[in-house]
Structures are given as structure tokens and as C-alpha cells.
Structure 1
Amino acid sequence: RVEGPAALAGLAPGGDLLALTRTADSPAAVTLLTPDGTVVAVLPGDGPHGRLWALGFAPTGPRPTLLLVREHEDRYLLTTWTPDTGAVTHDWCAFDTQITARWYPDGHNVLIRQDRHGRSLLHRAHLTTRALVPVPTPRGTLLDAAPRPGGDLHTLWTDTTHPPTMTSSAGTPLPPLGTVAGHVPGTVRDIHTPGPDGPVHTLLCLPEDGTGPHPAVFLVHGGPADHDRDAYDGTVHSLVASGFAVARVNYRGSTGYGPRWQRAYRDGVGHTQVADLAAVHADLTARGLIRPDATGLWGTSWGGYLVLLALGTRPGLWRAGVAVKPVADYAAAHAAGTVALRALDERLFGGTPDQVPARYAHSSPVRYAARVRDPLLVVAATHDTKCPAQQVRSYLAALDAAGARHESLWLDSGHDGYDGGDHMTVLRRAVLFLDRELRPPRRPAPRGDGSMHHTVQH
């Protein structure tokens, strides 16, 4: 047994060594131990060497060899560990954006999948000869890639207008995946908006029929340690088919653009990201691509948090918002959330709400609820442990007190939501809400206090 939360990252082929992983910036990011619990080595992820991730043992070889990735000086480097050598960083195998890796069956080569600027790249690294060779792959996103015996390579590929497809480089028949009937609408453009820490990259999907500017929805990703990809998304499909342009913005704090971009929070948690959304809004408007009088926001989880913060801190810029299972009151969410999410909050803010209360208050949407002027749909779940229900209720009460125009939809589920019926309910409700609010003529607000509440039970 080990103290604290940990996950099994790998078991050596001989069964005599295990690798356990904790958070990548922990003093004990990776622990090597025998099955009886004897600790063989502890590999740190803090300090000058940078964060560390364990990815599994080589399938063959005379000694256990663990594959790792280390973040160091704004690069990601392939690293290996053996009982004899300890951790060895391969400086010749370095990348400017996030990578993951897995062994080839021979135990000498490594397949590296790189997330770079919303798309995927593949590389093959030969550890003995120190050779790094690009592996050809179609433009888009590889959700997974696995080397197989005999040189075959299996991939799961997608882009915005093509649902995921399994492929084999050797032509091996693979099981078919569920797909979408007919043509997936939309054309994708890459937009780069100047910003204080470098250009902000947006994947903009435009309707194929009609000329711009278009009514638009900014589909805001969560995380924040995540990024939007050139990959099929049913929500994008539905919105574009309904005549909306869809902007997916990889704001500061996103992965896929290097460590410096991921750490760039110069305006504080949330406010930095909202500033990027506003800058892209202005850029797309100036280019004549979107209608500033018909642009809304839609986000889930941390993306929903950004929707609430954006509507409260920049009232009138956006004409509608959809926030699904959001953080609405940061201090309350921290108090009621999971251990892992509390640790994430404390890394983002530099302490707990008791230690740095002003930072949490400054970045909390509930502080700005009275300033919300645009129609808002809030979707929440009664059994949500990540973005707990009570802090959403407190936010809705603040909207009620301010007379803000809003609707709420409650799901009898948890945060991740494994019920397909719930997903369809949210999709239908959100698309209809945005269609009503963003297309002329604008409908008048409902009479009364402006709030509408619904609960969905399954």
C-alpha cells in the first residue's frame, strides 16, 4: 500500500516491478516498487527537472525499462528508466508541445503522438540509434495510435467533418465504428488572433451555404488542461447544420501549444481566458465572418464556468450563453468538490480559499451575477461531485435576485453523464435556446422574474 491517491502506470513483463503514478508535479510523481511493497525508486516531478509522466514498461528486453515523458524548459522530452541506469532523458527526442508515447512490440522503438496546434503528428523514435522519423498521417486528429507486430500501425483518426475511423497501415480488417449518415456540413478555417502571449488559435467551422457574416456560437472547451482539436464533434455538427458558425478557441491555459502557453494566466484565473474569447470575437467580427449582434457562448464544466464569467464581466458583448454543469461559485465548489479537483484549484490559485480568498472571489462568476444582461441557460446535475449542485443553486438565486433573464435545466445524474438520453436532452434544449436568442427577430423576455426552471428525471 502507498499513501494518498495513485494509479498503476505499468507492470514489468516479469511481474517483479510496478510503476505507480501521482500528479505529474508531485515530489513522488512516479514510484517503482516490487509486488510486496518494497520501494525501488521514487522519481520526482517537481523542482528543476520538471513534471513527469509514466507510460509503461517495454514489452521485451533483458531488464525492466519504463517509458516516461518529462516536461523541462518549455519542452517535452522522452525519458527512460531502468534499475541500472535510473532515469535517462533523451535530449535528442524533444518536442515543443504535449506528447504521449507507447512502445513498439520490439521494445527498442517508441511511437510518439504529438498534440500540436489542434492536430496530431506521429513520430517513431529508435532509442539505440537516436533516430527520430516522422510517421505519415492524414491532417486531423489521432485519438489513438498503436503499433502492432509485423510493422502494422492501427490508428483512430478523425477531423471536424469526418467521424472517427479505425485504420491499419497493413490493411488489416478492423471492426467498423458507428458513423453519421450522410454528409457532415461545414468548412474549417484556422484563425490566429494576436495576443499578449502569442497568437490565439481558433478552429472556425463555417456553414457551407450562404455568405457571412454568420450567427455564431463559441464552443468553449473545459479543462482547463485540455484543448479543442480538428476532430468530429456532434455539437459542432448540429450547430453548423442549423446555420451557425462555430468557433473553438484554444485560449491561454490550453494544452497543445507548449508549457509557456499553458502557464499564461497574466490576468488571473478565468479572466485571462475570457480576454482571449473577447479578442477572438473582435477579430472574427472585423474579418466579416460572424455577426456581433448574434454571437453566443456554450461550454461544459470549466468551459461552462468561462461562459458564466464572460457574461458577468463583459455584459452585452455576447447575446446568449449556455453553461452546462459549471463552476459558478469557486469557493463553494472547492469546499464541496473532490480531493483531486481541490488540488487542481489550489495549483491554479496558489492556495485554498482560506489562504487566498481575494483570488477565488475575483475569479468566481457568482461575484458578477448581478451584471448578467444576456439570456442564459444553465444546465446542472443533482448528483454532480465535480461542480456540485448547491453552488449552482446559489448562482441561480443571485440571478433571480438581480432579475436576470435565465432558464435552468436539472438532470438527475452526475457530472460526467453516461445517459445518452440526457445528452440528447441538453443538445436539443441548447440548440433551440440559441436559435431562439441569436436569430432575428429577437423574442421578448418572458413575463415575471425572468427565470424558467425545469427538471429532467430518468
Structure 2
Amino acid sequence: MTESNGAELNDERPGTAVPDWEKRFRAPRVGLPRWAQDAPDRALFVSNVTGTFEVYAWDRATGGQRQATDRPNGTTGGVLSPDGEWIWWFSDTDGDEFGVWMRQPFHGGPDEPAAPGLEPSYPAGLALGRDGTAVVGRSTDKGGSTVHVARPGAAPVEIYRHTESAGVGGMSHDGALIAIEHTEHGDAMHSAVRIVRPDGSTVAELDDTRGGTEELGLAVMGFAPVAGDSRLLVGHQRRGRWEPMLWDAATGEETALAVDLPGDLDAGWYPDGSALLIEHSFQARSELFRYELAGGSLTRLDTPAGTVSGALPRPDGSVEFLWSSAAEPSAVRSTTGQVVLDPPALPGGVGRAPGSVPVEDVWVEGPGGKVHALIQKPEGDGPFPAVFDIHGGPTWHDSDAFAAGPAAWVDHGYAVVRVNYRGSTGYGRAWTDALKHRVGLIELEDIAAVRDWTVSAGIADPGRLVLAGGSWGGYLTLLGLGTQPEAWALGLAGVPVADYVTAYHDEMEALKALDRTLLGGTPEEVPERYEASSPLTYVDQVRAPVYISAGMNDPRCPIRQIENYVERLEGRGHPLEVYRYDAGHGSLVVEERIKQLRLEIAFAERHLGRPDPERPEPSPE
């Protein structure tokens, strides 16, 4: 076994040209700015401009920007109080996702505990009221899920507790109603919604899991942004996909919305409550619509072809959105035609990220129906060595969006294939819910169908097929190497599930609930299902060289279960390289991300050869 530290691949010597693939990582990026409800000129966004993803405050009236957080391993996001006076951010330890909420004044000042009296926990939703009240969702490995109401100057009060997963969905404009998403029925994939008062007493319950044979879920999309309005926007799956409806928590009245579009629909309120912003996702792309609540008219907003990764309407009726495509890097745009936000300027900063090649769509007949895959190819004629870059989740999907990782592999002469296997979102409820009991094996059947098609189409070289992915994609990589040992020439697994039983016992409580749902119980209750779905079961069948990267503080795919798998492979003397780093479920540090991908590319080239012999090799230090 080889232990990696990446030093032998450092290409930062003076005079060394920085390749495009590294520029894509280092180029400054910004997330979608989110503003205070009652102070829309005050906003927060996330940027990597310093080399680490951190939270920034933006005074839109003056144009002033200020870095609000500064931590060695980064900070993923913040929340503004409705009046824009306070920035809330979650403080964990080196990516372990376990910690407390902190806050600081919008224009700067010392951080302080935002909800004194609450012990560290995993976050499970947050809602901030106009009177300073905070509703804090929490979960712990021993206490299950709880919701607390924290008022200024008073100790937090617990208003909800359950052993199953639950979280805060939102708070009404006047603070009188709180929405809680819960899975008390034991199905972590399909939530119910309960409306409670700040004292915890129940007002109403909406549960689509009751009284039927189908598994249906609900999602809170937000209370009406108008004083005295008790309507809640709720996502439901009653017609085989996600779509919104209105539910009046005070009267119980449900109002269906006539939005006749294929695919999944997300929604949010316009600030005056007169209309909804609809985000329509279909076949790995997305677009925006305005839906008028009076009359039900639907108007498409002007967005380019590609993927919208979040959108918010402004008080003037315009909409700001984060957009990208596989070929073009992300930008925060507006329906007014303007680019809304440029990254903070730093002396000597890197310019805009280089583009990449567009994706091609293919549909392949699989054992559970047609499987959608996205393919990017380098210049020239195939067959190419191919990286099957498998997405995580599993309830997620790959889309026509910009991603530096796949673009880097294309630059190095590989075709990149991304498969939206059964379990992926965006293709209807039945497709997403197909993962039951034969977890992992179902997804790999779909990946195999696409793999065989790419070989028969002359795109992929059957002798140089790489199975790769992070998180759930890393899990499928290790499982695929063991259950399909003759199919793959190499495996690259990032933060994977490797030993399912140990992973279950060590992971955060919310993921235990998901595993019980997917596999039908605990490892003690259904041991045969965990055994069939665990990469450790098949470790002795693995034939391809294996590269594994793991976060030492990862609460989702904990390190102990990875070490169990590594020990088994190591005992066989199998070609193996392991890289461990001091972070959680991935890294927010740009140079760390570059280092990890550089190690993966070098590992692939050592075992498969270099696809493009004319391309210079990385120079050692």
C-alpha cells in the first residue's frame, strides 16, 4: 500500500505554467447572494477568493463587501436575521459538522454564541424571527432530533423531540407558526409536516404517508412573506414528481397549483406574496417561471440553456440566479440581463475560470427503464479511456452544470461519463424511490448498462474504464470493483462507505435513519441486506488498483469503516493508495481539492498510461 501526501506532484515551481484544470479550481467563485427579508440591500454570499470557501457580507447600497468568517477549513454558509443586523453561521470542528451557531453584527464585530445554552449538535434547520426569536433544529447521536425556541435573554426551550430524524422547515412572518419536517413514521425518505406554535402545541399536521399504499413525501418551501398570512408553500409527490401546493395551516385548506410542466418543480415566494418563482428541473437542465397566484398564469423567465443552481426574486420583481453549463463557468445573473455579483477583488488574483466542452445526452435501456447519462469527450476519435464519475446522494443528479473535476479529466484525454442511475432525483418519484433493500446493486446495474453502451458506441476503451466518485459515488465505486471485478481497470473512491455495518454504527443519526429506510432495518435486524450491499463483503474479489481518499473528521462516511476495508486490501498486497486529510466529508480548501485530484490523475496514469503522450508530465519538486 502507498500512503500519499501529494508533495511529489506539486507543480507550483517558479516559471511553471499553471494548467487550465488547476485554474478552474483557483478561479474566484461566488454563490447566490441571499438577503435579509426586511433589509434587501444587506446580503450574504460564499466565495473561494482567499483559497478557502468563506462567508462574505455585502452592503448592496454602498457596494461594500467584507469577509465575515475566516477558518482554516472554511465555512459553508450563513443566515441573515430578517432585519439584516446579524449574521448567523455554524461553527464545527474541521468539518465534523458538529457544533453550535455563532453570530456577529452585519458590519463587523466579535463573534458570540447565537443561542447560549444549547450544547453542540448536528444542525437540523434554523428559522429567525423578527422579534429576535430563533428556532433551532438539532440532532445528536444519543438524543435523536430536537427543536428549541431561543428568545433574547432567555434560556432555550425545547418544543419538540423524537428519536427519528426531523428539522425546522420555517417560521411564519409574524412568528406565530413554526413548520417542522419530521419522519416519525420511520421513513427517512418521505417527510411529513407539522405546524406548531412557539410553545410546541400542534396547530395542524400534513402527512402523505398515512392511509395509502404509496410512499409519498412532503417538503416545506416557505411561509407566505406577508404579515397575517398563514399559508405555507409545500412540495408534494402526489402526481409522481415534486410539485408545489398551498396549505393554509389555520384552516387546513389545500390549493393545488396548475403548473403543467414535465419533471420536478421547486418554488418560492415573490416578496409581495402575489406570485411564485418556479424552478423547473427536467432531464438534467433547469429553467425559471413566474406563476401568478391570481389567475394561475405561467410565464417563462429568460435564462440560458444549462442549470440554475438557486434563484431568488428581488423586491422590484427581477430574479437573480446562479447559472452555469458544462461548458461555461458559473455566474450570478439577473433577469434584467446583468451579471449581479463579481467575486471580491484581491491583489494578484486569478482570472475567470477557463471553459470546458459541452455534454452530450444519451439514453440507454436499463433493467429498470431508460437511463440518462451525460458524456464529455476530449478532442480526437475514440475509443478513449473513460472515467465513470458517479454522483453522490444518492438522492441527487448530475446536470448540465460546470464542474472543475470532470473538465480536468477531459483535459487529460479521458471521456467522462456521468450516470443518473435509479435513486437519482429529477426523473420522477418512482425512479428516486427505486432504491430499496438491494441498495448499491440497483445503481450498479444502471451504470453497467451505460458502460456497455459507451463501449459498443466506440466512446470508451474497454481496457481503460475507471469507476470513480465521492460519498455515495465512492461507495458505488468500491461496491462496483468487488461485484463487477472484470469490468473496471481502476477505482477512485472519495469519502466512501466501505464497510456498511461499521459505517452505520459510526455515522451521524440522520444517516442511520436513511439506512434503516433504504435497507429495511438495522444491521442486526436485516444482516443479509447489509452484507449484500457492503463493499467489504466483496473485497477479496477486487482486481483493479484502488485509490481511496478519506476525511479524518467525516461524520457521514467515518474513517474507522474505511480503515477496515483498507486493512483487508492491504492484507492481500493489493495495488492500493490511501490519502487521508484533516477535514470532514470533503474539503473547502481550494489547494486541497487540487491536490486530491492531482493524486487521482497521477494514480490513473501510473496504472493505465497517459492518454496523450504528447502532454508534458507533472514535474516533481
TM-score by length of structure 1 reads 0.90
Q: Matches of residues 364-383 of structure 1 in structure 2 within 5 Å?
A: 364-383=534-553
Structure 1 letter corresponding to 2:371: V
The yes-or-no answer on 1:205 pairing with 2:363 is: no
User: 1:369·1:399 contact (CA, 8 Å) conserved in 2?
Assistant: yes
Worse-matched range after superposition: 103-112 or 419-428: 419-428
Which residue in 2 is equivalent to 1:272?
442
2:270 aligned partner: 104
Aligned partner of residue 2 in structure 1, secondary structure: strand
**Is residue 9 of structure 1 aligned with residue 169 of structure 2?**
yes
Alignment of 1:7-406 (within 5 A): 7-23=167-183, 29-47=192-210, 48=212, 50-60=216-226, 62-90=228-256, 92-93=258-259, 96-171=262-337, 174-177=340-343, 181=352, 183-207=354-378, 209-265=379-435, 268-406=438-576
Helix, strand or coil: the match of 1:417?
Answer: coil
Cα shift at 1:186: 2.0
Out of 592, 595, 617, the residue aligned to residue 422 of structure 1 is 592
Alpha-carbon distance in 2 for matches of 1:195, 1:87 = 42
Instruction: Name the CA shift for 1:155/1:370 in 2 (closer, same or farther; >3 Å).
Output: same
Deviation at 1:94, TM superposition (A): 5.9
Q: Secondary structure at the match of 2:516?
A: helix
SS of the aligned residue for 1:75 comes to coil
Q: CA deviation at 1:21?
A: 2.1
Shift of 1:42: 2.1
State the SS of the aligned residue for 2:168.
strand
- How far off its partner does 1:422 sit? 2.6
Write the letter of the residue equivalent to 1:204. I
**One-letter amino acid of the counterpart of residue 317, structure 2:** G
Task: Return the alpha-carbon distance in structure 1 between the equivalents of residues 305 and 529 of structure 2.
Answer: 41
Quote the Cα distance in structure 2 between the aligned partners of 1:299 and 1:171. Answer: 36
Structure 1 residue matching 2:316: 3-state secondary structure: helix
Moved more, 272-281 or 168-177: 168-177
Shift of 1:43: 1.9
Tell me how far 1:153 sits from its aligned partner.
Answer: 1.3
Percentage identity across aligned positions?
A: 38
* Deviation of the 1:116 alpha carbon: 1.6
Which stretch shows the higher mean deviation, 31-40 or 381-390? Answer: 31-40
Closer/same/farther in 2, CA of residues 87 and 341 from structure 1, 3 Å limit? farther
1:169-219 deviations in Å (ceiling 9; x for gaps): 124562214886464232321011111222111110111x22211111011
Query: Could you state the TM-score of these two structures normalised by the residue count of structure 2?
Result: 0.67
- Farther-moved stretch of structure 1 (248-257 vs 260-269): 260-269
Report the CA distance between 1:96 and its aligned residue: 4.7
The 3 A distance-change label for structure 1 pair 77 and 36 is: same
CA distance in 1, matches of 2:337, 2:257: 35
Distance 2:452 2:486 in 1: 13
What does the per-residue CA deviation read over 1:86-112, in whole Å, with 9 as the maximum and x for residues that have no partner? 151415236553322100122121111
**1:301 counterpart letter in structure 2:** S
Q: What letter matches 1:327 in structure 2?
A: V
Deviates more, 1:389-398 or 1:57-66: 57-66
Partner SS for 1:311: helix
Q: Any unmatched runs of 5+ in structure 2?
A: 1-158, 345-349, 612-621
Distance 1:416 1:199, change over 3 A: same
Once the two structures are superposed, residues 409-452 of structure 1 have per-residue CA deviations (whole angstroms, 9 ceiling, x without a partner) of 111222243333332221110111122223369xxxxxxxxxxx
Question: Aligned partners of 2:372, 2:478: CA distance in 1, in Å?
Answer: 22
Within 2, Cα distance between the matches of 1:94 and 1:88? Answer: 18
SS of the aligned residue for 1:345 comes to: helix
Whether the 8 Å contact between 1:164 and 1:177 is mirrored in structure 2 is: no
Q: Matched residues in 1 for 2:436 and 2:498: separation? A: 22
Please give the alpha-carbon distance, in whole angstroms, between the structure 1 residues aligned to 2:607 and 2:384.
Answer: 14
Q: Is the 8 A contact 2:268 2:277 kept in 1?
A: yes
Task: For 1:180 and 1:353, locate their aligned partners in 2 and report how far apart those are by CA, in whole Å.
Answer: 50
For residues 227 and 174 of structure 2, what CA distance do their matches in structure 1 show?
10
Corresponding position of 1:446: none
Give yes or no for contact 1:78–1:94 (8 Å, CA) kept in 2.
no
Whole-angstrom distance in 2 between the partners of 1:234 and 1:63: 44
Per-residue deviation, residues 4-55 of structure 1 (Å, max 9, x unmatched): 3543322222222222223595797222122233321122242338211111
Shift of 1:150: 2.5
User: Runs of 5+ in structure 1 lacking a partner?
Assistant: 442-458
Instruction: Count how many residue pairs are aligned between Structure 1 and Structure 2.
Output: 440
Partner of 1:124, secondary structure, is strand
What secondary structure sits across from 1:413 in the alignment? coil
Q: What CA distance in whole angstroms lies between the structure 2 residues aligned with 1:22 and 1:136?
A: 36
Tell me by how many angstroms 1:286 deviates. 0.7
Local SS of the residue matching 2:395: coil
CA gap of 1:83–1:309, structure 2 versus 1, over 3 A, is: closer
- Structure with bigger RCO (C-alpha 8 Å, 6+ apart): 2
Q: Compute the displacement of 1:159 (Å).
A: 0.5
Give the counterpart letter for 2:335 in structure 1: S
CA RMSD of aligned residues (A): 2.2
Instruction: Supply the distance in 2 between the matched residues of 1:67 and 1:241 (Cα, whole angstroms).
Output: 44
Residue 62 of structure 1 deviates from its aligned partner by 4.7
Alignment check: 8 A CA contact 1:215 1:291 kept = yes
**SS class of match (1:433):** helix
Structure 1 residues 127, 413: CA separation in 2 closer, same or farther (over 3 Å shift)? Answer: same
- Separation (CA, whole Å) in 1 of partners of 2:436 and 2:518: 12
Q: Which amino acid aligns with 2:161?
A: E
